[in-house]
């Protein structure tokens, strides 16, 4: 966790899709419909940009301004270049059958904190928010989709690993962290939700490495968000996993609508990416 940036993985387009589902055949108990016909008729959560493709070999993308060269990582070693970073990213072979690669949507890749939410969150928790990092070298995997669910990953050169680990420990040690994230996430969703949408129950947990995860996993941020529209509700499940090596920092983002992505699928994706982080 380079900086505290709440709800970076909740773009307005996803919220719009969730609320559309809430108004089109989901149940009132906070869970998606189990009707197979209805599920089959629902499109994948749309992105506001990016061109879908059925090819599982869609090339990873580099953030605007990326460079294939390498410089200093700040850890006494040369920073990995773009080609090296791309080898870390999530691949089709890391997932079970049924997941389709689409070009990564770059519309949600803004700066680390372009609206002050991260600084407000840090102040709430009681930790200093580190300066924004230069994400020009960050690369992204394709967005892997299965129905309304999505998994994607990103990688960039690690910066000042020792300090990052100390910062993570301060965040994890604070009793205020979960509550601060919940309030920040509720505020951000409330600002971006389409008209008629309402945030109901919301729970966030920020934890460290989970049992069975590789030793390079630093943070697991999970969120369960109930959204309502037209008297119906649907649940959105989010999870972000931060992985930190000596030269590379990687992130996996999981988004699910109605029913969470199976734990086995999430665990396999994390283990695969972590095994390639150096």
Give one DSSP letter per residue of 122-184, joined into a string. Answer: HHHHT-PPPPPP-GGG-EE--EEEETTEEEEEEEEE---HHHHHHHHHHHHH-TTHHHHHHHH
Q: Please, which pLDDT band fits residue 270 given cuts at 50, 70 and 90?
A: very high
Tens-digit pLDDT profile for residues 220-249: 999 999 988 777 788 999 999 999 999 999
- Chain centroid to Cα 111, Å, comes to 15
Tens-digit pLDDT profile for residues 70-96: 455 555 567 788 999 999 999 999 999
**Global pTM value:** 0.77
Of the two residues 29 and 80, the one the predictor is more confident about is 80
Tens-digit pLDDT profile for residues 33-65: 333 333 333 333 333 333 333 333 444 555 444
The residue whose two tokens read 């920020």 is 206
The residue whose two tokens read 């890749």 is 109
């Amino acid at each position: 966790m380079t900086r505290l940036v709440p709800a970076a993985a909740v773009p307005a387009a996803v919220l719009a899709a969730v609320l559309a589902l809430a108004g089109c055949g989901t149940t009132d108990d906070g869970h998606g419909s189990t009707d197979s016909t209805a599920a089959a008729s629902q499109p994948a959560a749309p992105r506001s940009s990016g061109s879908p493709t059925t090819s599982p070999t869609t090339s990873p993308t580099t953030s605007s301004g990326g460079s294939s060269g390498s410089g200093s990582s700040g850890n006494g070693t040369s920073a990995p270049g773009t080609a090296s970073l791309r080898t870390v990213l999530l691949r089709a072979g890391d997932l079970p059958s049924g997941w389709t690669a689409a070009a990564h949507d770059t519309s949600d890749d803004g700066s680390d904190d372009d609206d002050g939410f991260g600084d407000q969150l840090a102040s709430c928790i009681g930790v200093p928010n580190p300066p924004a990092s230069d994400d020009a070298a960050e690369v992204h995997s394709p967005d892997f989709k299965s129905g309304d669910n999505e998994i994607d990953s990103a990688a960039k050169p690690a910066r000042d690993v020792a300090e990052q680990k100390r910062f993570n420990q301060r965040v994890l040690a604070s009793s205020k962290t979960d509550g601060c994230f919940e309030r920040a996430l509720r505020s951000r969703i409330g600002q971006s939700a389409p008209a008629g949408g309402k945030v109901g129950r919301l729970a966030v947990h920020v934890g460290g490495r989970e049992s069975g995860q590789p030793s390079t996993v630093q943070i697991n941020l999970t969120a369960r968000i109930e959204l309502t529209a037209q008297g119906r509700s649907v649940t959105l499940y989010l999870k972000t996993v931060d992985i930190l090596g000596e030269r590379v920092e990687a992130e996996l983002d999981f988004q699910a609508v109605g029913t969470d992505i199976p734990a086995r699928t999430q665990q396999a994706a994390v283990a695969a990416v972590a095994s390639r982080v150096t």
